[in-house]
Amino acid sequence: MTEPTLEAKGKTMTKPLMMTLDRYLRTRERIGPELIVTIESVAHAVKRISNELARAALKGELGYSGTVNVHGEEVEKLDAWSDKVFVDAFSAGGPVCTLISEEMDEPRHLKAQCTRDSFALLYDPLDGSSNTDVNGALGTVFAVRRRKPGHGDSLADVLAAGTEQIAAGYALYGPATMLVFTVGDGVSAFVLDPATGKFMLWREKITMPPRGKTYAVNQANAAKWHPGARALVDRFTGPKDQGGGYSLRYCGAFVGDFHRCLLNGGIFLYPGEISSGRGSAGKLRLMYEVAPLSMLAEQAGGAGSIGHGRALEVVPGNIHERVPVYIGSAEEVALADKLEVEGRSRS
């Protein structure tokens, strides 16, 4: 029996099909047993993080850990704790043999789990963690890639374009905890029912509006951007009859800003900066932030770009490589690319 596809009727939603994540995973031909186990383990880690975030203030678990990560960013207590939740969830057996995390300088090789059909899991356990202490939006981002047989400790097979991802998704910890992912045949969203601890299907085959009304960027950095990025934001803030009239919505968590684009349309951008070192490529990391969300964007009919090319075609030089990012509705991303190219040709 094929389940009726849940159709979104405008913004009002038909009642969820009351289908659990576990059952949904088993109705999809593209999802084999190893990927089912992997996505269910992600969901388990997300539930633990969701529960902890709800109680952290009461338990005195907010604030900084006192350490700095490989990116030079202060590590929140919950960053480190969330990363350990993932390590624990995937070290107890299963098809994942390599963990690559924003919070780990080097990959974690789970050698005992390496077989011919192993996966690498790439993740940011707690995205937007500067929001932790102010009860703001937070997320988890993940991607799954197949490992090539005989990889050993080499990462050559993982350091490939994002088109190699076989699954990608995120959790958004907001008023509700949502899990949104794709395995390459459309984007599905689940909402965690606190009463049962089950992820319930909320929407499937989500399509991103081709154009939105909001843009998301840290505009305080405008003086450091290339001309194309400035021209793009000038367009959004200009007269409505000249393609402007947009509103700025920026929450400090990539996942939260992306989720708004996925459902309502619009664009998130974190441009590169005219400076040396880190700034020249912007802030966001390709392998466990930009590539996973770019897969989702494309699967929903949107786009993910680095300003002069498709983000999913970028081959990383290292696991923590940063890239500029313009992601969201197809029309806004195409405009971003156009203005970026024009800006560079003039400078």
Closest CA to 84 of 135, 126, 120, 43: 126
As a whole number of angstroms, the distance between CA 324 and CA 328 comes to: 14
* Least CB distance to ligand P6P at residue 284 (A): 6
> What is the number of alpha carbons within 13 Å of residue 243 lying toward its C-beta?
12
Q: How many CB atoms lie within 10 A of CB 31?
A: 19
Which residues would be at the binding site for ligand P6P (CB under 6 A)? 127-128, 130, 218, 252-254, 283-284
* Least CB distance to ligand P6P at residue 126 (A): 9
At a CB cut-off of 8 Å and minimum separation 6, what does 92 contact? none
3-state helix, strand, coil in the chain (%, to 5): 35, 25, 40
123 pairs with which residues across the strands? 101, 142
Give whichever of 249 and 283 is closer to ligand P6P, judged by the CB atom: 283
Give whichever of 203 and 283 is closer to ligand P6P, judged by the CB atom: 283
Give whichever of 141 and 158 is closer to ligand P6P, judged by the CB atom: 141
* Least CB distance to ligand P6P at residue 128 (A): 4
* Least CB distance to ligand P6P at residue 143 (A): 15
Give whichever of 72 and 239 is closer to ligand P6P, judged by the CB atom: 72
> What is the number of alpha carbons within 13 Å of residue 10 lying toward its C-beta?
1
Give whichever of 97 and 261 is closer to ligand P6P, judged by the CB atom: 261
| 200 three-state secondary structure | strand
Token pair belonging to 311: 């983000």
